[in-house]
Amino acid sequence: MARIVDWETFFASAAGCTVAAWEKGAYARFVSAKLGTRALQIGLAKLDPLEKSPIAHRIALTEEVEAIAGEDLRVQVLGSPWALPFEDECCDIVALPHGFDLHPEKIDAVLAEVIRVLVPNGIFVTTFFNSLGSWKLREKLFGASHILPEHSAVLSMNAVKSAIARTGSLKIEGGNFGVYAIDHTARGQAALSSRLPSWIDKAGDRWWPTLSNVVLLSARKTVAGMSLVGKVTFAKTKTAANAQTAVQNRKQRTSTDFL
């Protein structure tokens, strides 16, 4: 009987630890330079894409309660990814680890909520399993045993990019391909912080990047409008003119009072 791989089992395996270790470094490169007041993670609290963020107020939204370490800065909030319980334009970063893999039918609804809560110029970062990755291809072509979690959607990069482009408000700025093989030494929390890219990771990045098992994409929320560039030189002139008018009016009122 084939072994059922759920998300819990996956992240306890060598393959899951390899993915978690790579994503830890990949997310850090995109969130560490973004300042702000609030960062939001949607789903999969087992991963912490906001660990290297300089933003202290971090929220992990989950559909059910998940275990979070005591020293973790994230505050856990229950809710649905397509109906976020937050006000408009309140988050500077939104991270979505494998949200499209969990709810492929809700991609457009989730992205609409992401845009709603992101501030202008805010950052959206997501990771997902690649349909062209070796783990999925070996299942399709050779009937090999499952490595990825059961019922997880495996999407192409073009499909995710098209969904982001359809929003009209998110502009893709960058991304990374990663994880080309299982690192069987990557088990436990210690491995997550000490794992370095293997030779096959380096070769994959150079020769066949689109065949990676995991893809990260980063996008920025853009808002149509005019932005002022440089110093606003007319502000001081306007203030001085208003002050001069006020003085003249005061003099006129004073002289009239004594007539």
- How large is the average pLDDT for residues 60-64? 91
Higher pLDDT among residues 96 and 245, named by residue: 96
Q: How far is Cα 139 from Cα 149, in angstroms, rounded to an integer?
A: 12
Helix (H, G, I), strand (E, B), or coil: what is residue 217? strand
pLDDT computed for residue 185 by the predictor: 64
Average pLDDT, the chain: 82
pLDDT grade, residue 1 (50/70/90)?
Answer: very low
Given the candidates 3.90.1180.10, 3.40.50.150, 3.30.230.10, 1.10.1060.10, the CATH classification of the domain at 7-221 is: 3.40.50.150
pLDDT greater than 80 at residue 187: no
pLDDT computed for residue 182 by the predictor: 83
What are the sequence ranges of the domains in the chain?
A: 7-221
Least confident of 41-50, 79-88, 146-155: 146-155
Containing H/E element for 175? strand 170-178
DSSP string, 27-94: HHHHHTT---S-EEEES-TTS-TTTT-S-S-EEEEESS-----TT--EEEEE-BTTB-SS-TT-EEEE
pLDDT greater than 70 at residue 246: no
pLDDT computed for residue 228 by the predictor: 59
pTM: 0.79
pLDDT grade, residue 181 (50/70/90)?
Answer: confident
pLDDT computed for residue 151 by the predictor: 80
Encode pLDDT of 195-245 as tens digits.
555 655 665 566 667 889 999 999 999 987 665 566 655 555 455 555 565
- How large is the average pLDDT for residues 167-177? 93
Of the chain, the percentage scoring pLDDT greater than 70 comes to: 73
